[in-house]
Chains A and B, each alone.
Chain A
Amino acid sequence: MIRFDALLVTLLIVLSAACGLGVISAQHEARKLRSALEREQVRAQNLEVEWGRLQLEQSTLAAPRRVEGIARKRLGMISPDAGQIIVLEGGMP
């Protein structure tokens, strides 16, 4: 009888110790994941910022003034005169 009791107590002690360790490791894991998530969020934010900056750059590069300047100066393009434009029937959207 006494032996059975002792066995039970030992078992419970071991079990609770195991549970405790489990909690600790789960907590640790959670914290590790959390900080990983945090890092990823920061990265996402930085990427967003970079995207914004790239969009800004694109807008700056695609500004009509710049495009016109390049078309006229570097590519030597001109606006067509009235006589030079031919409209194709049904060709316009």
Chain B
Amino acid sequence: MSRVRKAVTFNHNPLLQLSLSQWRARLVLVVLLAGMATLLGRSLYLQGVHNEFLQAKGESRYARVLEVPATRGRIADRNGNLLAVSTPVSSIWALPSDASRLEPGQLRQLAQLLEMNVTELNNRIANGRDFVFLKRQVSPELADKVAKLDLPGIYQQSEFRRYYPSGEVMAHMLGFTNVEDRGQEGVELAFERLLAGQPGTRRVIKDRRGQVVEDVQSIRAPRDGEDVALAMDARIQYLAYSALREAVQQHHAKAGSVVVIDVRTGEVLALVNAPAFNPNNRAHLSGEQLRNRVFTDTFEPGSVMKPFIAAMAIESGKFRASTVIDTYSGSFNIGNNTIHDTHPYRTLTVAEIIRKSSNIGTARMALAFGPEHMWALYDRLGFGSPPGLGFPGEASGNLRPAKTWKPIEQATMSYGHGISVSLIQIARAYLAFARDGDLVPLSLTRVDAPPVGVQVFSPRVAREVRQIMETVVSPGGTGVRAQITGYRVAGKTGTANKIENGHYVNKYVSSFVGLAPVSDPRLIVAVMIDEPSADQHFGGTVAAPVFAQVAEGALRALGVTPSVPLAPLQLTAMGVERGLDGEGM
């Protein structure tokens, strides 16, 4: 019994006797602890060390980066009149995948608002890309109406559009911007770095309704473009433009340009070209209209160069204004070539050579000097090098090195053939006469400090040549029509044959460059008319009246006191003056 009892004792179940080894329990414990440590470590890692990712994820639920637009600087004239302003507009764009679900009725509404026809609109949307502009630069009012339609897949983005209130009057001077509001031409391009703004960005927290509740950080502050104040005077610019346009129409000319420069500072007060264009609507533009001829076009200046030679001659001491020069009765041989005066004179004084515009007389003066001497003068006057105003497409003109000059070439160059210059170069060179020999750089922007120049002629010579040039506009000279009431003016006419394919043809460039008032010059006005074809082509008849109109108005606008009594002009020699313009080869 006891054996049996013993045998069946439950306590001594051999299976239960089999004790579990200690390590198994420990292993489980360690595994569990390790798991917990891993989780803890991971959470510590995510919370403390590697927290950017999750934070960014979290932020993306409520934080937004907003673009802060910057406006482009305005352009104003010297008196603060606005010439170019950017105003916000909207561009309507579509997400074709969403917009293709638009119903015909909605499409028609949209098309009507955008003034497009429905097929065109459909074509745009159906063209399969994932972003398509429907219409760029619409007015904010129209954009609001489009937004109110609340169409799927139709969005808008705000942009800026440049407006030019003065239209074509300033077109070449100001240039224009492209659809991204970046400068493309003129001042807009020349001053792009100043004018362009830099859009900024900032990070904000937005609430459920899309309102900004907290400014987290300003990533980059927007920088608005700076305003540019030009030296230009809008009144003079307008005067110049209307006078030029009238002259170009009247003489059926191909083109024309006028530059007005303030003598005291070298500031460009006006700069116009015809034909011009409307910068606010540039749908059908031709290169002819776009070209800023004052800077980009070079031409053979003709007789307007003669005063420089006279100044050089007088400066050297070899000649005086009263020195008599043999002009060979209108025909002068240099080697195998002959140069002519249209009106033969046997002898002329230096002063008369300028007044009557004698080619032979000028050539004879020039040939008294070596080519290097003349080249150095032209070089100092800025011919052959770009005017350096930073304007796009400035031409430097053509001034060949003195070594290559043959005597006949030196002779023709003295009266402005065989050399090419731009109107701005010649206008600037005349500063030397107006400023008593001091040649200063030009400026498109306002100049407040007195400019530093180079002395090209001595003051005495400059004054003397000025007086000679005054005789050009007095009865018996070639530029009588340049006279204006109330002020004494001085200047020089030019009529140059044009070259086509290496030959001089029966087309002309008429010019007049002058300064006023003679006693204390304030202005230089340079006029160039390209191919006047209405049976008049002399600088004295075509360009000089434009000079008179511009100079008179400009002097009045600047408030310059009239220096002579305001008596009606005596233009008695009007008939003679045409024949006296003795140029041509």
**A interacts with B:** yes
Residues of A at under 8 Å CB distance from B? 30-31, 34-35, 38, 49, 52-53, 55-56, 58-60, 62-65, 68, 81-83, 85-87, 92-93
Q: Which residues of A contact B561 (CB under 8 A)?
A: 87, 92
Does B559 contact A82, Cβ atoms closer than 8 Å? Answer: no
Does A65 contact B169, Cβ atoms closer than 8 Å? Answer: yes
Separation of A87 and B239 alpha carbons in the complex (Å):
22
Does A59 contact B566, Cβ atoms closer than 8 Å? Answer: no
Separation of A53 and B281 alpha carbons in the complex (Å):
18
Separation of A42 and B253 alpha carbons in the complex (Å):
52
Q: Which of B212, B215, B238 contacts A65 (CB 8 A)?
A: B238
Separation of A81 and B88 alpha carbons in the complex (Å):
46
A60 to B: closest C-beta gap in Å = 4
Listed stretches B56-64, B77-85, B302-310; interface member: B77-85
Q: Which of B235, B559, B562 contacts A64 (CB 8 A)?
A: B235
Is B268 among interface residues, defined by CB-CB distance under 8 A?
no
Is B385 among interface residues, defined by CB-CB distance under 8 A?
no
- Please give 16 more A-B residue pairs, beta carbons under 8 A apart, in addition to A56-B165, A58-B82: A31-B213, A34-B213, A52-B74, A59-B81, A60-B165, A63-B166, A64-B234, A64-B239, A65-B169, A65-B242, A81-B568, A82-B566, A83-B568, A85-B566, A87-B562, A92-B559
Does A56 contact B238, Cβ atoms closer than 8 Å? Answer: no
A32 to B: closest C-beta gap in Å = 9
In the complex, which range does the number of interface residues on chain B fall in?
A: 20 to 34
B231 to A: closest C-beta gap in Å = 17
Interface centre among A31, A52, A59, A92 (most CB of B within 10 A): A59
Does B166 contact A93, Cβ atoms closer than 8 Å? Answer: no
Residues of B at under 8 Å CB distance from A? 71, 74, 81-83, 85-88, 163, 165-167, 169, 207, 211-215, 234-235, 238-239, 242, 485-486, 559, 561-562, 566-569
The main secondary structure of chain A at its interface with chain B is helix
Q: Which residues of B contact A55 (CB under 8 A)?
A: 82, 85
Q: Which residues of B contact A31 (CB under 8 A)?
A: 207, 213-214
Q: Which residues of B contact A65 (CB under 8 A)?
A: 169, 238, 242
Q: Which residues of A contact B207 (CB under 8 A)?
A: 31
Q: Which of A62, A63, A83, A92 contacts B567 (CB 8 A)?
A: A83
Known contacts A82-B486, A92-B559, A93-B559; decide if A49 and B88 are in contact (CB<8 Å). Answer: yes
Q: Which residues of B contact A38 (CB under 8 A)?
A: 211-212
Known contacts A34-B212, A34-B214, A59-B82; decide if A82 and B569 are in contact (CB<8 Å). Answer: yes
A46 to B: closest C-beta gap in Å = 9
